[in-house]
A and B are shown apart, each in its own frame.
Chain A
Amino acid sequence: MAYFDYNATHPVSQKILAELPGWAAYWQNPSSRHRPGQRVRGKIEEARETIAACLGVLHKEIFFTSGGTESNHLALQGLSSCLAPGSLILSSPTEHPCLLGALNKLKSRGFQIQLLPVDCNGVVTADVLKKHIHKASLVSLMQANNETGAITDLHSISSLCREAKVLLHTDAVQALGKMELDLSLVDAASLSAHKIGGLKGTGALFLRTGLKPEPVFLGGEQEKGIRPGTENSLGILSFAAALKERSVLSPSVSELRDRFESGLYALGSGYFQINGGSKRVGNTSSVTFFGFDGQSLVLQLDMAGHFVSMGAACSSGSVKPSPVLIASGLSEADAKSTLRISFGCYNEASEVDSLLHSLRNILGLG
């Protein structure tokens, strides 16, 4: 049995599992003024400092949320309060559905939303952005794509935004822990704990000092009033611990990914393609097996004990072709023939070899 679905979620880190029983002592409400409450407050602030340090930002620029989805909504809805009514927001059709959902909400509130054309890797390039940025007030582009791992060049995007005095947000949920993040390039970034081995239900929004977004939830002073609600203390502690342990991708994980991809090429060429181009995070392979039904492949691999996905985990219940792949130029049939195989720190070379062996049998490559 081997798990190759790390982009859907990462197993809780062994270190964190070992520390959890000790954290049970921090059950008090950090808003309580008594000593035990303030002790928990202290641990949360320590975690905030750790996370800020790992990301090279200020601790007061980190706001804890319930996860990536909430961070994206808080970023877009929150930042929209800083924009002129009806102004233009630029993004991409290959963003995560929760970000597209937040954009839709802004559209209903009168903002103009434009999804920019992407290149064959599903990425918005600076050249494309350049043509549209002069009218925009906010740009939101993901750092790394959840399905293909394709990386957006935020360096050039950022300089365009800075020049045009346009706010830049990035959904960095899939990039965190898989590549060096440079948050100095952006004004806001969404993060999630469970993609790097923390507990689910915890995320954070990085917000550059000076930005004061309107909260989505109202009526509490936690997180400086930007995200009211009793803090998820254990989740927050796990987030800091996970980031400390896994702020960059271990080279051994990208080696496994490369072992897998070269193994595929060794089986023969012409029956598959790898999506997302050369600039991808090191753990993700999005592979189109021409003429094969992706659902069947997922099921057959499951039967053989290898756990992979078709596209994003959230959309696996529906069987619609991945909008990310369609926007990148794949046909509907090819999109439905595509698997996402994402590797992580607990994978081993023998598991990769066994996956390749099963694929060879299933694909009938003898």
Chain B
Amino acid sequence: MSGGVDSSVAAWVLQEMGYEVIGITMKTWARDHKAGEKSCCGVDAVDDAARVAAQLDIPYVALDMEQVFRETVIENFQSEYFKGRTPNPCIVCNYKLKFGYLLQKAEEFGCDFVATGHYALMAESDGRLYVTRGKDEHKDQSYVLYNLTQEQLKKTLLPIGGYTKDRIREIAREQGFLRVAAKPDSVGICFVTDSYKDYLKGQAREKMAPGDMLDVKGSVVGRHEGIALYTIGQRKGLGVSFPEKTFVTNIDPDKNTVTIGQREDLLRWQMEIRDLNWMGLAPQTEPFEALVKIRYHHKPVTARCEPMGERMRVVFFSPQEAVAPGQSAVLYDGDRILAGGIINKAY
């Protein structure tokens, strides 16, 4: 329970379904962290979640997960940026913390399942469990759950995936969770208050190594402040001005260069994904077609998927902008997640 409206109502839904429920907040931030004041999982979140738990009359605990959060989610976030990639910390947090560390804790408490307030549903066929898109198409969060294993899914409940966000807020008001009902939707990364760039500058300024900024032909057109501060598709804050709109089109960690170009230079026909997780589909060896989503706010597009062992080559039917290494690519068949992995390179 993050102290937000989704997990609060999730607890209520489970109780209505007849589950014996306990509330847990993953306390990932201490009071003195600036970010903790802003978003979920800080001290206010604990108060709000505890209050909802009391209203539901369920046992509640705030687990101190500051250290494990720092060592897994934040470490990964920083190191990925310094490798010139664009990480998705929510996916790491779900896999390693919510359905990793927390699941293990829950088992210690004698619980059979971990439930979250994600807008996604679960289904089973041919002996495989998988996540499907939530009913509220604007809120669907199935994307961030693609890497859960079958073992994890067996112990997962997603109680609010069948509701719309509006309905969830309405239930919260009906149940008297007025403060959480009135909270704005959380946006962005929970531990970053302003921009991820300011965050990285604050955390690891000494690791920033300025280098050359190139155009697509390889000519030096300026300097960059350190590759960690750039992401594929980025337009603002490049420190150079051209008559046409200019974007980051490539980041080369080995040469410490950032390449910029026009919108058409962002287009990629193919990508390779690694760390494959087969979910709704048993591991394949033959190519197949799927809808592929390459970032959280991306409308899935059709592509041909060619499994190559631990990796997969994905060929888009139409070229895609800003295919950023480090982001996750998730393969769907309609609403059902088939598989997913992390974008390794695009070309």
**A300 cross-chain contacts in B, Cβ below 8 A:** 109-110
- Report B52-78 CB contacts with A as 1/0, cut-off 8 Å: 000000011111100000000000000
Least Cβ distance of B36 to chain A in Å? 12
Least Cβ distance of A285 to chain B in Å? 21
**B43 cross-chain contacts in A, Cβ below 8 A:** 317
CA distance A296 to B109 in the complex (A): 6
Residue ID in chain B nearest A293 by CB atoms: B108
- A298 in contact with B22 given A293-B108, A317-B43, A319-B27 (CB within 8 Å): no
CA distance A319 to B43 in the complex (A): 11
Least Cβ distance of A292 to chain B in Å? 9
Contact B62 A299 (CB under 8 A): no
Residue ID in chain A nearest B46 by CB atoms: A317
CA distance A295 to B23 in the complex (A): 13
Least Cβ distance of A359 to chain B in Å? 14
Least Cβ distance of A214 to chain B in Å? 31
Contact A299 B59 (CB under 8 A): yes
Q: Counting CB contacts under 8 A, is B263 at the interface? A: no
Contact A303 B59 (CB under 8 A): yes
Q: Counting CB contacts under 8 A, is A61 at the interface? A: no
Query: Chain A at the B interface: mostly helix, strand, loop or mixed?
Result: helix
Q: Counting CB contacts under 8 A, is A223 at the interface? A: no
**A317 cross-chain contacts in B, Cβ below 8 A:** 43, 46-47, 62
Contact A319 B22 (CB under 8 A): no
The size bracket of the interface on B is 10 to 19
CA distance A319 to B62 in the complex (A): 8
Contact A295 B59 (CB under 8 A): no
Least Cβ distance of B44 to chain A in Å? 11
CA distance A192 to B27 in the complex (A): 32
Contact B22 A303 (CB under 8 A): yes
Q: Counting CB contacts under 8 A, is B345 at the interface? A: no
Contact B61 A299 (CB under 8 A): yes
CA distance A300 to B22 in the complex (A): 10
CA distance A302 to B110 in the complex (A): 13
Residue ID in chain B nearest A319 by CB atoms: B64
Least Cβ distance of A112 to chain B in Å? 27
Q: Counting CB contacts under 8 A, is B83 at the interface? A: no
Contact A299 B46 (CB under 8 A): no
**B135 cross-chain contacts in A, Cβ below 8 A:** none
Residue ID in chain A nearest B65 by CB atoms: A319
Within 8 A of B (CB), among A281-327: 293, 295-296, 298-300, 302-303, 317-320
- Partner of A296 from the list B27, B46, B60, B105 (CB cut-off 8 Å) is B105
**B110 cross-chain contacts in A, Cβ below 8 A:** 300, 303
**B31 cross-chain contacts in A, Cβ below 8 A:** 318
Contact B59 A296 (CB under 8 A): no
**B60 cross-chain contacts in A, Cβ below 8 A:** 299
CA distance A303 to B23 in the complex (A): 11
Contact A295 B46 (CB under 8 A): no
**B22 cross-chain contacts in A, Cβ below 8 A:** 299, 303
Contact B63 A319 (CB under 8 A): yes
Residue ID in chain A nearest B61 by CB atoms: A299
Within 8 A of A (CB), among B1-60: 20, 22, 27, 30-31, 43, 46-47, 59-60
Contact B62 A298 (CB under 8 A): no
CA distance A302 to B109 in the complex (A): 11
CA distance A317 to B31 in the complex (A): 11
CA distance A303 to B108 in the complex (A): 13
Residue ID in chain A nearest B23 by CB atoms: A299
**A318 cross-chain contacts in B, Cβ below 8 A:** 30-31, 64
Residue ID in chain A nearest B63 by CB atoms: A295
**A299 cross-chain contacts in B, Cβ below 8 A:** 22, 59-61, 109
CA distance A298 to B60 in the complex (A): 9
Residue ID in chain A nearest B47 by CB atoms: A317
CA distance A320 to B31 in the complex (A): 12
Contact B61 A298 (CB under 8 A): yes
**B109 cross-chain contacts in A, Cβ below 8 A:** 296, 299-300, 303
CA distance A305 to B46 in the complex (A): 22
CA distance A320 to B66 in the complex (A): 11
**A303 cross-chain contacts in B, Cβ below 8 A:** 20, 22, 59, 109-110
**A298 cross-chain contacts in B, Cβ below 8 A:** 61
CA distance A317 to B59 in the complex (A): 14
Least Cβ distance of A239 to chain B in Å? 28
Residue picked from B27, B31, B43, B59, most chain A C-beta under 10 Å: B59
**B47 cross-chain contacts in A, Cβ below 8 A:** 317
Least Cβ distance of A307 to chain B in Å? 10
CA distance A300 to B46 in the complex (A): 19
**A302 cross-chain contacts in B, Cβ below 8 A:** 59
**A320 cross-chain contacts in B, Cβ below 8 A:** 64
Residue ID in chain A nearest B59 by CB atoms: A302
Known: A303-B110, A317-B62. 9 other contacts (CB 8 A): A295-B61, A295-B63, A296-B108, A299-B22, A299-B59, A303-B22, A303-B109, A317-B43, A319-B27
**5 shortest A-B CB distances, which residue pairs?**
A319-B64, A302-B59, A299-B61, A303-B59, A295-B61
23 interchain pairs, CB-CB under 8 A: A293-B108, A295-B61, A295-B63, A295-B64, A296-B61, A296-B105, A296-B108, A296-B109, A298-B61, A299-B22, A299-B59, A299-B60, A299-B109, A303-B20, A303-B22, A303-B109, A303-B110, A317-B43, A317-B62, A318-B30, A318-B64, A319-B63, A319-B64
Listed in ascending order, the chain B residues whose CB lies under 8 Å from chain A are: 20, 22, 27, 30-31, 43, 46-47, 59-64, 105, 108-110
